[in-house]
Amino acid sequence: MFNSYGNIIRLTTFGESHGKAIGGVLDGFPSGVRIDMNYIASEMKKRRPGQSEITSQRDENDDVEFLSGIFEGKTTGCPIAFVVWNKGQKPEDYDDMKNVFRPSHADYTYQLKYGIRDYRGGGRASARETVARVVAGALCKLALRAIGINIRAYTSQVGPIKIGKKYHELDLEEADNNVIRCPDAEKAKEMIDFIKQVKDEGDSIGGVVSCVIKGCPIGLGEPVFCKLHAALGNAMLSINAAKGFEYGNGFEELELKGSEQNDMFYNQGGSITTKSNHSGGIQGGISNGQDIYFNVAFKAPASISKQQDSVDLSGQEKTIKIHGRHDPCILPRAAAVVESMAAITLLDFYLLDKTRQM
Amino acid sequence: MFNSYGNIIRLTTFGESHGKAIGGVLDGFPSGVRIDMNYIASEMKKRRPGQSEITSQRDENDDVEFLSGIFEGKTTGCPIAFVVWNKGQKPEDYDDMKNVFRPSHADYTYQLKYGIRDYRGGGRASARETVARVVAGALCKLALRAIGINIRAYTSQVGPIKIGKKYHELDLEEADNNVIRCPDAEKAKEMIDFIKQVKDEGDSIGGVVSCVIKGCPIGLGEPVFCKLHAALGNAMLSINAAKGFEYGNGFEELELKGSEQNDMFYNQGGSITTKSNHSGGIQGGISNGQDIYFNVAFKAPASISKQQDSVDLSGQEKTIKIHGRHDPCILPRAAAVVESMAAITLLDFYLLDKTRQM
Amino acid sequence: MFNSYGNIIRLTTFGESHGKAIGGVLDGFPSGVRIDMNYIASEMKKRRPGQSEITSQRDENDDVEFLSGIFEGKTTGCPIAFVVWNKGQKPEDYDDMKNVFRPSHADYTYQLKYGIRDYRGGGRASARETVARVVAGALCKLALRAIGINIRAYTSQVGPIKIGKKYHELDLEEADNNVIRCPDAEKAKEMIDFIKQVKDEGDSIGGVVSCVIKGCPIGLGEPVFCKLHAALGNAMLSINAAKGFEYGNGFEELELKGSEQNDMFYNQGGSITTKSNHSGGIQGGISNGQDIYFNVAFKAPASISKQQDSVDLSGQEKTIKIHGRHDPCILPRAAAVVESMAAITLLDFYLLDKTRQM
Amino acid sequence: MFNSYGNIIRLTTFGESHGKAIGGVLDGFPSGVRIDMNYIASEMKKRRPGQSEITSQRDENDDVEFLSGIFEGKTTGCPIAFVVWNKGQKPEDYDDMKNVFRPSHADYTYQLKYGIRDYRGGGRASARETVARVVAGALCKLALRAIGINIRAYTSQVGPIKIGKKYHELDLEEADNNVIRCPDAEKAKEMIDFIKQVKDEGDSIGGVVSCVIKGCPIGLGEPVFCKLHAALGNAMLSINAAKGFEYGNGFEELELKGSEQNDMFYNQGGSITTKSNHSGGIQGGISNGQDIYFNVAFKAPASISKQQDSVDLSGQEKTIKIHGRHDPCILPRAAAVVESMAAITLLDFYLLDKTRQM
């Protein structure tokens, strides 16, 4: 519990935003998987700040140092520990917040829960923690690739601007062609302009990351308390600023009746498939071989440069302006984390499924 | 994993829809809690079918037999096992589905995953499993009551009909006054009429259950992978037919900017509180003392009497009409399950929080 | 934790000695395993009291009622719940102990830990709980049998009487031919005579159960904190009255130097094997294909009819004579529990090992 | 599972003998505990090689670098990650063993289980892994100290030489006065002489580490599958080279009858205590406030410089002489690991016990 995720595959992350390092231990990873360090670096880049004008300008180091579990280029089945060293942090940016609680951050709840908190940059509650998830996610993607599972996340909503198309109406590869990671070029431009405007106001904005998993074999997921979609929901809701999760047609098409919503089976040239996929590739908590797709809502980042009302440790009312180089919109970087958490979950359930028959 | 839920409190459920019994074992429950059997019976009644014309007319037995863990009216700290015997089931209703997969049910995925399935009434995948969760939920509510935590779920949307009011604009007790459990009498009537119409068509409809938790102490929830809202999301998504979860303002108000969304702190007569509660009572995964509120989307039940296309075990295309007495809308009964899963989660995190300081 | 055991396979037991029933839920059991009810009954008989003059004369009902997870004679992959109803208990035998703590029983520690206890027959702490382990063990043995794993436990010491031979010098099947389950007929007679004498004195005696696992494939067990022998040790030490565990040559041959102790490899007709097996079939926590063997020490049962000194709830000194029909020696019945816990552990690790490579 | 230990407190270790580092993450540690770095260094020294002529002459670096979870000298409740960098390793010492399996090491089982192994110095199976346990143990000891729990391990047997006294007949502090950590000066000398002789022969020897825990509060441990002694047994058997565990009078006094073995209660000036302590401070799996004591058997280290028979990867028979600077006897260093695993277990159960009542 606490800082670990997964059943067979188990990722434990550690580290604070302005401590020595962020890192993780990925235990239970299968042996014999070849690790491509260039691939990992390319995955890290997707999450890295400082890449465009719509994300934080911080130039965070995201180089990964592996400490164990890989030998002569392959995984050994032993825990894979890794560290991303914190460099160029500016703790002095956070002196103001030593005593004052930033609204809608975790400052207040950490202080009251633990009686102590590392206030520098949000400490453990900082989204920098997700760097460890992307390392683990990249490792899992390498394993999943070998069995044909492909995961792709993209931005489908920024504030009031919605993409307005379903995933199968889009060429998801297009998401790589713009900084907001939206596979519709026109909507992408609107979103980017909107974020720039919000940023200029010293404000922030949220939205939706959508994710599609193709090639998932039938049978992943366990009934009742280990349903695949519940695990995915848990994984996504563990990402900083996540406020909601839905899969298949989720909240969106609740006006559909059973007869409109049910995915009828048919025989497509010898193999059983469904005419529609409102189920989002999961029935009874178990993958059915169709595409898995889901949405994750992310709120506007709590760090804004506008003046806000707050209180300090003693309960005294204060105003606060948050300095530093913050993300006006977390979505383009969150997409990488969504993919990573999906990859860890899928590999975990793939391995778990191996145990269900002798 | 699999059929267990929780960390300290651990509910394991068992049983199939048309097997001997549905039951559960609730381990880790604290000792010394007085158990009021009348209260448990009243909680069970909330979930029971056959209570109105908008739910299934089945007259399921929901009497609970406790087998262990309670001595002289109090819990002993030992596992509490309980059984609800299956009586008056009509397995012959399900002969048709022995070989044909019901669309959007778990028949197909179970068959392919396990190579075998108890096809009678959906077997383990039946929503009858949730009867065990309501027993456990009732026990947990009794423990939570003593520390002032109160949980209330209600129907806020049926198909296209939305309640259109926030929880604090409603008198939630009103939900007990109608069979759809909607605290707005006018909307309740609309919803009920709509469900009757859907039922007459041999069809089904989904919607949203909303839930509010009052009196939650500050500090429940653990950072990173054990966030309170992620645990609640996992719990809710484990309920049959759940398609989405959102807390605070979730997917609904993503157009709000950070400055509009952040919950500013102020000092209310000596105690720190927030001016708004967009966070839904949880910041950084930890409860902040404000009301916790969330929504759960439930799809239209997959069992409809309309004719549907499908295939059988051999891949042969077939049409299927599902007989039996099914729920045209699961919402009024699902509310009881939502409350129960929330109660188990809250008690679990309450106990877990005790370990965070010496 | 608490009342559950296992990783993939997870047995949760419940019930008190004089409550309604003892039972369990075995979750994670693979699907498609054919269940032979006669075999299960025969396994239960091994543990049952009332079978000879050296065990308790209680005529406990040990009939198992399965509630779920088995369909048309095969496991479904869903949780297997089962119950053994308590019948013919005589709670009035235990009125004396309502207020007085029996020496070396769990009465005192339960009372102080939980503030409440079911004092009838030891409640949850009674060795009757192990009936649930034997049910689960029998199911696991059926699965293990199919992959050629065979487990055999026997009595190797009673009080001062030791068998004096290693397992490979014995015909272990001989253990079935006497009531103490010792495969050396002569020693068996000595042991039985000794127990009769102890029983006549109103006293009790302990000893050692040895266990041998043949046919275990190479590779079961996980390094560091999930070593096969540590899991076996944990399992055995969870049995009532267990005081010690050793595997391979354990405590016995610590005078052996490395050169005498190491198991040298050689090539036996094309397959790698070892010249000796001091390791007990486990190296680095992982099975190496040789026989696994271990010993479990059981103390003399705490329930004796001799008068003993004690105190009551208020701290008042009292004398106590424990009535009822107790086992003067637990070993013959403990052997069945040792085999069961070994079987659960082996199947768990067999399934776990499937996840270590893609 | 795999590389993690504990329930609330959860230690995950990582690293290979000749990789970059050995380290760990200690999650679930309570917040607000002051960390004394000098104390940790002094604990590390107990386990460090190169300190005497009877242990390995390797000069391993054992300096700990903490990466997270400690802020301004106190724990924050967030995961405590730490690393001990591997320096001055001589991987070339291990070129011989790339293809040849060292007898009674984990080379063969790792190779067959994972299909790959880091052969340098035993890789993950090396006892160097225990350095991470001593770091975690030292942290836990600091927390336990504050609640008055004291843990002390010592060498009580080396090969055929036994201490011959019970722990309460000894001044355990004396163990610090000699390199074998035996609190009986005379026996210590015999043991040391014996080890020197074994070392000169190029051989190795095992023995027993005894451990005593004083000041343990009543009520730690959970019934059935989470018994305190079973958890201690599991912890001890997870230490490299451990072959057996016994607590209380264990295997040693099985000739005692119930009437001789039972610990009678009496009222000692108002508080309930026992006249004897054969139970070893644990009854029914729960601590009873008396001293907890147990023994751990360690085999002779498998690394010896004498020539041994073996086979290589292809099954070809080979002889092997293991070079490097190995421990002729692991006991003095193992004592530190025994204390550490006991400390982690005790703190874990202390925290767990907090959840058993509301």
Handedness of CA A276, A279, A283, A284 (dihedral sign): negative
Contact B1 A114 (CB under 8 A): no
Q: Is the pLDDT of residue C93 over 70?
A: no
Distances (CA, A) of C263 to B93, C141, D242: 63, 29, 16
D85 interfacial to chain A (CB closer than 8 Å):
no
pLDDT at A326: 85
C27 interfacial to chain D (CB closer than 8 Å):
no
The overall average pLDDT reported for chain C is 94
Q: In A, which residues are within 8 Å of D128 by CB distance?
A: none
Q: In D, which residues are within 8 Å of B355 by CB distance?
A: 8, 28, 30, 351-352, 354-355
More confident residue, B326 or A306: A306
DSSP-derived secondary structure letter, A30 = P
CA C151/CA C341 separation, integer angstroms: 10
The overall average pLDDT reported for chain D is 94
Q: In C, which residues are within 8 Å of A356 by CB distance?
A: 30-31, 77
The answer to whether A69 and A78 have CB atoms below 8 angstroms apart is yes
- Answering whether pTM is above 0.90, one says yes
Q: In C, which residues are within 8 Å of A10 by CB distance?
A: none
3-state secondary structure of C178: coil
CA distance A140 to chain C (A): 11
B91 interfacial to chain C (CB closer than 8 Å):
no
Nearest-CA residue of chain C relative to D207?
C254
A298 contact partners, CB below 8 Å, separation of at least 6: A206, A207, A208, A209, A239, A241, A242, A243, A330, A331, A334
Q: What is the mean pLDDT of residues A74-92?
A: 89
Q: What is the mean pLDDT of residues B186-208?
A: 97
Contact B234 A233 (CB under 8 A): yes
Taking alpha carbons only, the member of A227, C145, C307, A309 closest to residue B240 is A227
Contact B358 D77 (CB under 8 A): no
Out of B125-139, C152-166, C215-229, D86-100, pick the least confident: D86-100
- Helices (H), ranges, A146-288: 185-200, 228-237, 258-261
CB-closest option in B12, B76, B118 to C27? B12
Query: What would the pLDDT profile of D7-57 be if each residue is shown by its tens digit?
Result: 999 999 999 999 999 999 999 999 999 999 999 999 999 988 767 777 776
Report residue B55's pLDDT band, with 50, 70 and 90 as the boundaries.
confident
Handedness of CA D99, D104, D105, D107 (dihedral sign): positive
Q: In A, which residues are within 8 Å of B272 by CB distance?
A: 101, 108, 311, 315
Query: What would the pLDDT profile of A120-176 be if each residue is shown by its tens digit?
Result: 988 999 999 999 999 999 999 999 999 999 999 999 999 999 999 999 999 999 999
Nearest-CA residue of chain C relative to B80?
C14
**Encoded amino acid at B161, one letter:** I
pLDDT at B323: 79
CB-closest option in C13, C224, C246 to D297? C246
Handedness of CA D199, D204, D208, D211 (dihedral sign): positive
The answer to whether C180 and C332 have CB atoms below 8 angstroms apart is yes
DSSP-derived secondary structure letter, C223 = T
Q: In B, which residues are within 8 Å of C75 by CB distance?
A: 116
Query: What would the pLDDT profile of A223-269 be if each residue is shown by its tens digit?
Result: 899 999 999 999 999 999 999 999 999 999 999 999 999 999 999 99
pLDDT at D289: 97
DSSP-derived secondary structure letter, A56 = -
Q: Is the pLDDT of residue A179 over 80?
A: yes
CA B57/CA B207 separation, integer angstroms: 20
The answer to whether A225 and B133 have CB atoms below 8 angstroms apart is no
Out of A214-228, A238-252, C119-133, D312-326, pick the least confident: D312-326
3-state secondary structure of C259: helix
Contact C33 A358 (CB under 8 A): yes
Q: What is the mean pLDDT of residues C200-210?
A: 97
Query: What would the pLDDT profile of A29-67 be if each residue is shown by its tens digit?
Result: 999 999 999 999 999 999 887 677 777 766 667 899 999
Q: What string of DSSP letters covers D78-123?
A: S-EEEEEE--S--GGGGGGGGTBPPTTSSHHHHHHHHS----GGGG
CA distance B26 to chain A (A): 14
C331 interfacial to chain D (CB closer than 8 Å):
no
Contacting C residues, span 239-278, partner chain D, CB-CB under 8 Å: 242-251, 254-267, 270-272, 274-275, 278
CA distance B177 to chain A (A): 24
**Encoded amino acid at B232, one letter:** L
CA C302/CA C299 separation, integer angstroms: 8
Query: Token pair of D240, please?
Result: 């490299």
Query: Token pair of A330, please?
Result: 């977390």
Query: Token pair of C193, please?
Result: 């005579």
CA A210/CA B26 separation, integer angstroms: 37
3-state secondary structure of B158: strand
Taking alpha carbons only, the member of D231, D259, D336 closest to residue D5 is D231
What is the complex's ipTM, to 2 decimals? 0.97
Angle at B158 between CA B153 and CA B161, to 5 degrees: 115
D200 interfacial to chain C (CB closer than 8 Å):
no
Cβ contacts below 8 Å, chain C against chain D, sum to 350
| Tally of CA atoms within 13 A in the half-sphere of B50 that contains its CB | 9
Task: Please state, for a pLDDT cut of 90, what percent of chain C lies above it.
Answer: 88
Nearest-CA residue of chain B relative to C8?
B1
Looking at chain D, which subunits does it touch, using at least 3 CB pairs closer than 8 Å as the criterion? Answer: A, B, C
Q: Which residues pair with B274 in a beta bridge?
A: B265
pLDDT at C121: 86
Angle at C273 between CA C271 and CA C274, to 5 degrees: 160
The overall average pLDDT reported for chain B is 94
- Helices (H), ranges, B80-129: 107-114
B349 interfacial to chain A (CB closer than 8 Å):
no
Q: Is the pLDDT of residue A94 over 80?
A: no
C87 interfacial to chain B (CB closer than 8 Å):
no
Provide φ and ψ at A97, rounded to 5°. -95, 10
Contact D3 A79 (CB under 8 A): yes
The answer to whether D203 and C259 have CB atoms below 8 angstroms apart is yes
Burial pattern B31-40, b for ≥16 Cβ within 10 A else e, equals bebebeeeeb
User: Burial of C95 by CB count in 10 Å (0-12 exposed, 13-18 middle, 19+ buried)?
Assistant: exposed
More confident residue, D324 or A173: A173
Looking at chain B, which subunits does it touch, using at least 3 CB pairs closer than 8 Å as the criterion? Answer: A, C, D
3-state secondary structure of C326: coil
A104 interfacial to chain B (CB closer than 8 Å):
yes
Q: What string of DSSP letters covers D208-272?
A: EEEEEEESPPTT-SBTTTB-HHHHHHHHHHTSTTEEEEEETTTTTTTT--HHHHS--EEEETTEE
D334 contact partners, CB below 8 Å, separation of at least 6: D209, D239, D241, D296, D298
Q: What is the mean pLDDT of residues A206-219?
A: 98
A357 interfacial to chain C (CB closer than 8 Å):
yes
CA D20/CA A34 separation, integer angstroms: 19
Provide φ and ψ at A140, rounded to 5°. -65, -40
Q: What is the mean pLDDT of residues B83-107?
A: 84
CB-closest option in B28, B351, B358 to D30? B358
CA B118/CA D261 separation, integer angstroms: 52
